[in-house]
Amino acid sequence: MRRESLLGTNVYLCNGYSIIEKGVMKKIGFLSFGHWSNHPAYKTRTAGDTLLQSIDLAVAAEEIGLDGAYFRVHHFAAQLASPFPLLSAIGAKTKKIEIGTGVIDMRYENPLYMAEDAGAADLISGGRLQLGISRGSPEQVIDGWRYFGYEPAKGETDADMGRNKALQFLDKLKGEGFAQPNPYPMFPNPPGLLRLEPYSKGLRERIWWGAASNATAIWAAENGMHLQSSTLKFDESGKPFHVQQAEQIRLYKEAWKKAGHQREPRVSVSRSIFALTTDEDRYLFGRDANGADKIGYIEKDKRAIFGRSYAGEPDQLIRELAQDEAIQEADTLLLTIPNTLGVDYNIHLLSSILEHVAPGLGWR
């Protein structure tokens, strides 16, 4: 047995396998973008295919021991959009798995209606919702939120509008009365101001903010939201992606502590990780081996860095992932999946991580 040190962690090489000496248990979930297209290679040819397979995937993921089923939300695209019917259906079909989004673009949302939908979905699931929200990213159409009837206030940007809506949403999730009751109601009212219903206790503490910058990560901590950090962020230092993301997470944790919240923060990072254990895996994802970060622009004036994908034999993945500083800082790992390849193949991919990679890193 030979010992090496990666980021201060002892890694033992035994019989060709890497074993982390003191790994930290992590929650592991999947993140689906919910694509569909009438393509001969796709298992998801229609929106109905994607929705129904998303439910089946969450059920199967729970059965193999995965901790979370998360879904991206995009508008004006052949991808999942309105999340709450899907989250409610999954909540009714499962018992333990966390159910969430990554992320809902708040520029498109009515915060009060959303609070009602979220409360209902959370009650159906028995309090398992983990909702990721954000100010949004570039969409398929120009200023798509305008078509939904929303305009930034005077002197406000669309990003400001998204963050302000998020704060309204958080406020209404507290379950406090704010609306003046009608003195002649259809049904008797309880005393005092009225709140939105249904109210789900504890949901306010299970809201996450998707942050692409250090500043918005700090803002999320100040406002008592957990942190979701994806496979891209604004390039703020020129350092490798995982280093910048780890720095972002540490700033978030410092801000959380400074804010004096009385509960523990949670942090998730997303990664594309493929354990190559079959010939089909090697055919589909072998080209992603030895990947590297990429630089691009998700907004015309914002340089962004996109994190690498990981693909390789399990032992190679263990060694590479042990060097990812951001994964070490996070308590939750969301595995992005190719949902168009169908439920069975995606469960194979997820099972490969749980069985062949996670134990070697101390995550299981």
The answer to whether residue 57 sits within a structural domain is yes
The CATH number assigned to the domain holding 283 equals 3.20.20.30
The answer to whether residue 187 sits within a structural domain is no
Query: Measured between alpha carbons, how far is 74 from 85 in angstroms, rounded to an integer?
Result: 15
The answer to whether residue 19 sits within a structural domain is no
DSSP helix/strand/coil, 94: coil
DSSP helix/strand/coil, 352: helix
Nearest to residue 311, comparing CAs of 360, 349, 362, 355?
Answer: 349
Query: Measured between alpha carbons, how far is 355 from 364 in angstroms, rounded to an integer?
Result: 9
Using a pLDDT cut of 70, give the percent of the chain over it.
Answer: 94
Nearest to residue 240, comparing CAs of 172, 294, 279?
Answer: 294
For residue 302, the model assigns a pLDDT of: 84
Given a cut of 80, is residue 363 above it in pLDDT? yes
The answer to whether residue 5 sits within a structural domain is no
Q: Are 229 and 269 in contact (CB under 8 A)?
A: yes
Given a cut of 70, is residue 123 above it in pLDDT? yes
Q: What is the mean pLDDT of residues 153-164?
A: 96
Helix (H), strand (E) at residue 316: helix 314-321
Packed helices 83-93 and 111-125: angle between N→C axes, nearest 10 degrees: 10
Distance set, CA 256 to CA 129, 172, 211, 219, 248 (Å): 21, 22, 14, 9, 12
Give tens-digit pLDDT for 221-280.
999 999 999 999 999 999 999 999 999 999 999 999 999 999 999 999 999 999 999 999
Helix (H), strand (E) at residue 315: helix 314-321
Q: Are 82 and 112 in contact (CB under 8 A)?
A: no
Instruction: State which residues form the domain around 322.
Output: 24-177+195-361
Using a pLDDT cut of 90, give the percent of the chain over it.
Answer: 88
Given a cut of 90, is residue 6 above it in pLDDT? no
The answer to whether residue 1 sits within a structural domain is no
Query: Measured between alpha carbons, how far is 363 from 23 in angstroms, rounded to an integer?
Result: 6
Structural domains of the chain, count = 1
**Partners of residue 207 on adjacent β-strands:** 131
* pLDDT, averaged across the chain: 93
**Which amino acid, one-letter code, is at 267?**
V
Query: Measured between alpha carbons, how far is 216 from 199 in angstroms, rounded to an integer?
Result: 28
The answer to whether residue 274 sits within a structural domain is yes
The answer to whether residue 64 sits within a structural domain is yes
DSSP helix/strand/coil, 233: strand
Give the Cα-Cα-Cα angle 315, 69, 358 (nearest 5 degrees).
20
The answer to whether residue 2 sits within a structural domain is no
The structure's pTM equals 0.92
Task: Considering only the C-alpha atoms of the chain, give the largest distance between any 2 of them, rounded to a whole number of Å.
Answer: 79
Identify the band that residue 1 occupies on the pLDDT scale cut at 50, 70 and 90: very low
**Which amino acid, one-letter code, is at 213?**
S
Give the Cα-Cα-Cα angle 338, 208, 71 (nearest 5 degrees).
20
For residue 23, the model assigns a pLDDT of: 60
